[in-house]
Amino acid sequence: MITKKHLIYAAFLVLIGFGAIFGNLYYGKIYKTNVLKTGTIYIPTNASFDEVESIVRPFLRRVTGFRWVAKKKKYTQRIKSGKYEIKKGMNNNELVNLLRSGNQTTVKVRFNNQDSLEKLAGRIAQQIEPDSLALLQVMKDEAFWSDNGFSKANALSMYIPNSYEFYWNTSAASFQHKMLKEYKKFWNESRNKKAKKIGLSPAQVITLASIVQKETANIPERKTVAGLYLNRYKNKWPLQADPTVIYALKLKNGMDKEYKQVLYKHLEIDSPYNTYKHNDLPPGPIGMPDISAIDAVLTPSNHDYYFMCASVSDFGKHVFAKTLAQHNVNARKYQRWLAKQGY
């Protein structure tokens, strides 16, 4: 005989059963493994939760549980942009906590060998969130130049090629200010003393270093080349550096145009970058010198060389001369070698 007591007990068991089912369901949504693979996600600035859900969807076994936990934890109202590393085996609670915390992973921003702000902006835009137009806008901010001792001609010299740590969602303006800070850090007391010793400002050092780097890719040779150009500069000789003429031609005809050889007609180009016509240093760098080229100018070799010519026996290096007569001998050897190569 089924009594009232039995009915109550049965109902209680049913409730416990439903409670266990729902409890297990909620527990599973929160704590059951849901991330299928390790990877990197990028959440844009001002992203909506729908955008976030679309970004994480390829990594999840079930997106409904992620959505439910995100709403319960109010992440849908606290979305933080950035680069995040998520790991296989994470549950929804761990994933939402990571994204809600804003504990993003940094990126290593690297750049070198750029010969214009436009190309630099394009390179940086491949590595952090701002696009090249936003970056270029702050890079060309004349008020920023004026406030910090730069100009249109030497603005590129503020960017010292290296590897720098940034958050992916760093704004264009924040990137600019970080680069200024790094520039000032680079020009420490030691480097400033060395620049003063050779009679150049930091901006002039970078300009000369850009010529040295274009002249030789052979790093051990750079101190010799730097010493040669400083000999010419201090004695008020024109530098007569072919890379400056090439840069002047590129400014005139397009930065992407290539010139394999400097011809006599090229030496007549009317440009402050033509160091065959002007005794002074160019108004700014003709490229982005790396640290080895900058330090080569700051610690040049002490010698009496005034002339250099490409070596015909040691490819990639140069032969140096103290007199024009010695240089002409070297130059004739090089011209004969070029003729044999069909140039």
Distance CA 96, CA 67 (A): 9
Which of 123, 152, 186 is where one domain is finished?
Answer: 186
What angle in degrees, to the nearest 10, is found between the helix axes of 189-197 and 291-298? 50
| Alpha carbon distances (Å) from 250 to 115, 136, 278 | 10, 20, 18
Residues 266-311 pLDDT 10s: 889 999 999 999 999 999 999 999 999 999 999 999 999 999 999 9
Residues 115-150 pLDDT 10s: 999 999 999 999 999 999 999 999 999 999 999 999
Phi, psi values for residue 23, rounded to 5°:
-60, -45
Q: Are residues 203 and 169 in the same domain?
A: no
Q: Are residues 202 and 139 in the same domain?
A: no
Q: Are residues 129 and 88 in the same domain?
A: no
Residues 184-237 pLDDT 10s: 999 999 999 999 999 999 999 999 999 999 999 999 999 999 999 999 999 999
- Residue 44: alpha-carbon gap to chain centroid: 20
pLDDT at 7 over 50: no
Which of 101, 123, 157 is where one domain is finished?
Answer: 101
Distance CA 39, CA 268 (A): 56
- pLDDT score, position 28: 63
Q: Are residues 208 and 174 in the same domain?
A: no
Decide if 65 contacts 29 (C-beta within 8 A).
yes
Residue 221 sits in which domain range?
189-303
Distance CA 209, CA 298 (A): 9
Tell me the pTM. 0.86
154: CB partners within 8 A, 6+ apart: 203, 206, 207, 283, 284, 285
Question: Helix, strand, coil shares of the chain as percentages rounded to 5?
Answer: 55, 10, 35
Q: Are residues 94 and 61 in the same domain?
A: yes
Decide if 211 contacts 241 (C-beta within 8 A).
yes
Q: Give residue 148's identity as a one-letter amino acid code.
A: N
Q: Is residue 322 part of a domain?
A: no
Q: Is residue 337 part of a domain?
A: no
Decide if 139 contacts 97 (C-beta within 8 A).
no
312: CB partners within 8 A, 6+ apart: 333, 334, 337
Distance CA 330, CA 307 (A): 10
Q: Are residues 165 and 135 in the same domain?
A: yes
Decide if 152 contacts 145 (C-beta within 8 A).
yes
Q: Is residue 248 part of a domain?
A: yes
Which of 268, 284, 303 is where one domain is finished?
Answer: 303
Least confident of 12-16, 32-36, 326-330: 12-16
Least confident of 25-29, 151-155, 283-287: 25-29
Compute the average pLDDT of residues 25-39.
82
Q: What is the CA radius of gyration of the chain?
A: 31
- pLDDT score, position 23: 45
Q: Is residue 296 part of a domain?
A: yes
List the structure tokens of 9.
Answer: 């007990």
Q: Is residue 142 part of a domain?
A: yes
Q: How many domains would you assign to the chain?
A: 3
- Residue 202: alpha-carbon gap to chain centroid: 21
Distance CA 334, CA 338 (A): 6
